[in-house]
Each structure stands twice: as C-alpha cells, then as structure tokens.
Amino acid sequence: MTKEFYIDGIGNISVQGPVVTLSMTRVQQGSKVENDKEEEVLHLTMTGQNLLKITNILNNTIKRLAERSQSASKDTVENKANKDTVKNRDKDQTVN
C-alpha cells in the first residue's frame, strides 16, 4: 500500500548534477506550536528531466482546473441572468 503524505509546501530544493531533491514540508498545527514551525516530512529525489515532466503535468492540471472553474462560474452567471430576465419580464406586466 502506498503511503500518503499531506504537504503544505517545499522547504528546500537541492541540485547535485542531474539529480534534484525537493524537501516537502508540513506546517505543524495546534496551540502549543511555535510560530511558522515547519517540519520536513518527505524528501523527493529525481532527475532534472523527470522534474520537468512532473512540472508540465502539474501545470496542465492547474489549467484544466482553472477552465472548469471559469465554465462553472459562467454557468452560474448565465443562470442568474436568465432568472433576472424572467423576474423582470414578470414585473413589467401591467394591469389596466
């Protein structure tokens, strides 16, 4: 079974030749924790080429999420505009 890590950010990036290591961090939670205390939870090591592949995949994922968000907000705006049009049409009717 694959281990799951919750990550809040990248603490350090080190490059040694063709190998890149990213230190993934997690911010400690709770009332007794020092301010901005981060804990390294994972060191991810890969080649620079694989880092570029992962970066491209993540960028494409972000673009898709943004497109979905825009289309969802457009649908919401269009639905609201349609409801307002119906309300205004109903209000414009006059009784003689």
CA separation for the pair 74, 78 (Å, rounded): 6
For the chain, the maximum distance between any two Cα atoms, rounded to a whole number of angstroms, is 86
Closest CA to 28 of 50, 9, 3, 51: 9
Separation CA 24–CA 12 (nearest Å) = 8
pLDDT of residue 96: 46
- Provide mean pLDDT across the span 18-46: 86
Quick: pLDDT tens for 37-81.
Answer: 889 999 999 999 999 999 999 999 999 999 999 888 877 777 766
For residue 13, what pLDDT is reported? 96
> Residue 23 in 3-state DSSP?
strand
* pTM of the shown model: 0.62
Of residues 35 and 56, more confidence is placed in 56
Structure tokens at 91: 């209000």
DSSP 37-58: -EEEEEEEEEEHHHHHHHHHHH
- Residue 35 pLDDT grade (very low, low, confident, very high; cuts 50, 70, 90): low
